[in-house]
């Protein structure tokens, strides 16, 4: 018998688990420190060096975890969004249609986004750079869970006969993610625009497509 078969992978060992918890605690500490500085002095005014000094770590340690300020912002935002999505899940299951569920999610996102508008420009530029072909999200960092939730809801809609099944749920969720980000970018570029209205248009486009009623 191969003795290695009974040896747990390193990631499953208690020591590896402790290291991972410590790493995540460090990420949270750095992001929290950065956020306090952003809120006190303004995002543009803060440098990575100031964040490292305030967090009491070396610049090398900070850059090893977060290469740019936008990554610190993303970590903070993804934690907030993940918590919000978790709270929304019971309400989503009570809604019968994909359109209704997406509306509930994106209207909640609109409320959150309006209170973080000053930071969304740099955050979205960073997110779009990580979504470019040939670039992948770094699995070392916690995600918001939005993409996974979109995928799950679309898969449920496919099973219920509410969504096309010739394309995989993950592929459709990827397209929806770009509509979501695009609506936010348009809202940021249009003073006085309603983000809920922009999201409603994105949902309608995703669910119904661009065909007119006459063509359909």
pLDDT at 25: 94
pLDDT at 139: 54
pLDDT at 6: 45
Residue ranges of domains in the chain, CATH in brackets: 1-67 (1.10.10.60), 69-216 (1.10.357.10)
Round to whole Å and give the CA distance between 127 and 74.
8
Instruction: State how far Cα 152 lies from the chain centre.
Output: 15
pLDDT at 131: 67
Which of 201-204's residues contact partners 24+ apart within 8 Å by CB, and which partners?
202/106, 202/176, 203/99, 203/102, 203/103, 203/106, 204/99
pLDDT at 15: 80
pLDDT at 143: 72
Round to whole Å and give the CA distance between 65 and 22.
13
pLDDT tens digits for range 109-148: 999 999 999 999 999 989 888 765 544 455 555 677 888 9
Phi and psi for 104 in degrees, rounded to 5? Answer: -60, -45
- Closest of 26, 25, 18 to residue 63, by C-alpha: 26
Q: What is the pTM of this model?
A: 0.79
Round to whole Å and give the CA distance between 26 and 31.
9
pLDDT at 35: 97
pLDDT at 72: 96
Question: pLDDT below 50 — which residues of the chain?
Answer: 1-8, 134-136, 214-216
Round to whole Å and give the CA distance between 14 and 20.
10
């Amino acid at each position: 018998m191969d003795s290695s078969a009974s040896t747990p992978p390193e990631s499953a060992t208690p020591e590896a688990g402790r290291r991972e918890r410590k790493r995540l605690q460090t990420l949270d500490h750095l992001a929290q420190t950065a956020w306090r500085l952003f809120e006190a002095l303004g995002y543009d005014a803060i440098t990575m060096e100031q964040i490292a000094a305030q967090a009491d770590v070396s610049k090398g340690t900070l850059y090893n975890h977060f290469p740019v300020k936008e990554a610190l912002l993303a970590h903070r935002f993804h934690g907030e969004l993940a918590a919000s999505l978790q709270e929304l899940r019971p309400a989503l299951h009570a809604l019968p249609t994909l359109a209704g569920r997406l509306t509930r999610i994106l209207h909640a996102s609109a409320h959150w986004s309006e209170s973080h508008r000053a930071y969304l420009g740099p955050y979205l530029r960073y997110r779009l750079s990580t979504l470019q072909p040939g670039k992948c999200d770094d699995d070392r960092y916690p995600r918001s869970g939005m993409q996974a939730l979109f995928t799950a809801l679309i898969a449920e809609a496919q099973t219920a006969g509410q969504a096309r099944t010739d394309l995989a749920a993950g592929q459709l969720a990827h397209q929806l993610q770009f509509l979501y980000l695009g609506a936010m970018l348009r809202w940021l570029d249009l003073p006085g625009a309603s983000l809920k209205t922009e999201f409603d248009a994105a949902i309608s486009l995703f669910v119904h497509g661009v065909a007119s009623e006459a063509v359909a």
